Structure 1
Amino acid sequence: MMDHATRTGNRLLAALPPADFALLAPHLRKVVIERNSVLIRSGDRIEHLLFPLSGAIAAITELPNGQTVATAIIGHEGAVGLTSAFGASAAPATAVARLSGAALQISPAQFLAAQHRSPAIASMVQVFTMSLLTQLQHVAACNALHSVEARLARWLLHIHDRANEGDVLPLTQETLSELLGVRRTTVTHVVCTMRASRALKSSRRGQLEIDRPRLEAVACECYKVMSRRIDRIVSHGAVGLIPGAPARPPSRSPGSRIAGTGS
């Protein structure tokens, strides 16, 4: 049986009552997620569901002309492949690990069998779906209305929220280009601008050192709004899964790291 310390590494699983979690526990396997690994490609069959314990996973949409753009960042507050709970067999987006970490893995068939026996697990799926839709809606609006600099600051903050420690993020300019859906030359220009404002302390090859307070000043309001709303959905969802459980308020002031992250 998965021990309590392991299961509470993922907020969705931690919110399940013990009896409901016990339906999943025998089938959960802890796996390591390597940075930059492609966990699933858009259109591929979903072979595994992943409940991250640490790290950051980007949902990437690929266009026919080869361009890419990130639509969500998922960490220990969410899951990857959970669309299979609605009967989808193919992945709607490509999932790429942007920070290394660990996750609990389970097959769709094993998860669905447990879901059919547990209203709490079914509710957990709805909680995550609401949080993911919230993120997708904000990202779509932000991409249409805000500058590349503000959008880059937002993505860096979302990733930093899910970093284990420190202010150095292992991100290349190619990765930033993929997240933003812009050319490398645009990323180079924006990074230089953010270094001049000292929101980025340094940008060595493959690494970005951030100054979080300055980065928050550069980011658009979408970061704070999105973080508050997602945390509220996940925290209040825990109340519905465990009767009598108190909603957990954000552990920091609005705009700081997502409540429950390990830093």
Structure 2
Amino acid sequence: MMDHATRVGNRLLAALPPADFALLAPHLRKVVLERDAVLVRSGDRIEHLLFPCGGAIAFIVDLPNGQTAATAVIGREGAIGLTLALGTSHSSVTVVVRVPGPVLQIPAAQFLSALGRSPAIASMAQIFTRSLLTQVQHVAACNALHSVEARMACWLLQIHDRANSSNPLPLTQETMSELLGVRRTTVTHVVRALRASRALKSNRRGQLEIDRPRLEAVACECYKVMSRRIDRIVSRGAAGLIHAAPARDACQPPGNRLSRAGS
């Protein structure tokens, strides 16, 4: 069994009380994801949950006309498939690896079994749902109000935050087009402008090397506001997990089942 105090790189799992983490630990398997891997497509049944320990993973909305746009990017503060805890068995978005990294994978059936016995795991799902909703709301506002250049700076900073400060970032212009929901010609123009301001140091094939201070100067206020709010939700929520009711023993009679913790 994994020692979650020392070996878990995912913030949600690491915050669980030991007894609750022990319900998941025997079923967790470490997998290293490859760049641009599609983890689940919109409409697919959720077969596994993934808890990133590094890298950056994008949630993409696919429109009927073939256009795409990112609604969120997550790393070690999040998870893929936690909507199962809300009773949703199919993914509403396509999930794509943008910066490779390790994840902890667990079959959906094993997670749901642990969820039914652990108020803390239920609370963990609520924490992530709140943080994801916060990000989606900010992205929607940013898309409506701010320039493509400022939006690109925000996405690059968010990905850099989650990629363990990897620089250069393994991002193609096609990837940025997909994240921003704009044509590649627009991305080319914006990259050229960011290079002129030296916020991007280079644009080698499939790589974007950033200058963080200059890129932060280009980004709109959404980046800092969103980052602070998400970190606050995860940090406070994780601290509160220690007060959740203890996990129910597998042999405990159903009549004594503990209710799930609230948000």
Q: When the two structures are aligned, how many residues end up with a matched partner?
A: 243
Residue by residue, what CA displacement relative to the aligned partner does 1:77-113 show, whole Å, maximum 9, x if unpaired?
0000111111211101000000000111111111111
In the superposition, the TM-score normalised over structure 2's length comes to: 0.91
**Pairing 1:77-226 to 2, within 5 Å after superposition:** 77-226=77-226
**1:55–1:164 Cα contact (<8 Å) kept:** yes
Q: 3-state DSSP class of the match of 2:112?
A: helix
Distance 1:243 1:46 in 2: 30
Q: Does 1:6 align with 2:3?
A: no
**Pairing 1:59-70 to 2, within 5 Å after superposition:** 59-70=59-70
For 2:30, the equivalent position in structure 1 comes to 30
Residue by residue, what CA displacement relative to the aligned partner does 1:161-190 show, whole Å, maximum 9, x if unpaired?
012344210100000000000000000000
Which aligned runs of 4 or more in structure 1 are off by greater than 6 angstroms? none
Structure of higher RCO (CA pairs closer than 8 Å, 6+ residues apart): 2
**2:200–2:210 Cα contact (<8 Å) kept:** yes
Distance 1:98 1:3 in 2: 28
Equivalent residue letter for 2:38: V
Q: 3-state DSSP class of the match of 1:65?
A: coil
Equivalent residue letter for 1:58: A
Residue by residue, what CA displacement relative to the aligned partner does 1:28-50 show, whole Å, maximum 9, x if unpaired?
11111101100000001111000
- Of residues 69-78 and 105-114 in structure 1, the stretch that sits farther from structure 2 once superposed is 105-114
Residue by residue, what CA displacement relative to the aligned partner does 1:141-166 show, whole Å, maximum 9, x if unpaired?
00011000000000000000012344
Alpha-carbon offset, residue 19 of structure 1: 0.4
Equivalent residue letter for 2:87: G
Equivalent residue letter for 2:49: L
Structure 1 portions without partners, runs of 5+: 245-263
Residue by residue, what CA displacement relative to the aligned partner does 1:174-230 show, whole Å, maximum 9, x if unpaired?
000000000000000000000000000111111111000000000000000000000
Q: 3-state DSSP class of the match of 2:44?
A: coil
Distance 2:239 2:3 in 1: 22
**1:127–1:234 Cα contact (<8 Å) kept:** yes
Alpha-carbon offset, residue 238 of structure 1: 1.2
Equivalent residue letter for 2:231: D
For 1:257, the equivalent position in structure 2 comes to none
Equivalent residue letter for 1:37: A
**2:75–2:163 Cα contact (<8 Å) kept:** no
**1:85–1:108 Cα contact (<8 Å) kept:** no
**2:128–2:234 Cα contact (<8 Å) kept:** yes
Structure 2 portions without partners, runs of 5+: 245-263
Distance 2:166 2:183 in 1: 28
Distance 2:31 2:137 in 1: 30
**1:167–1:211 Cα contact (<8 Å) kept:** no
The alignment-based identity, stated in percent, is: 78
Distance 2:196 2:167 in 1: 18
In the superposition, the TM-score normalised over structure 1's length comes to: 0.91
**1:10–1:77 Cα contact (<8 Å) kept:** yes
Distance 1:160 1:239 in 2: 25
For 1:249, the equivalent position in structure 2 comes to none
For 2:50, the equivalent position in structure 1 comes to 50
Distance 1:178 1:86 in 2: 28
Q: Which has the larger radius of gyration?
A: 2
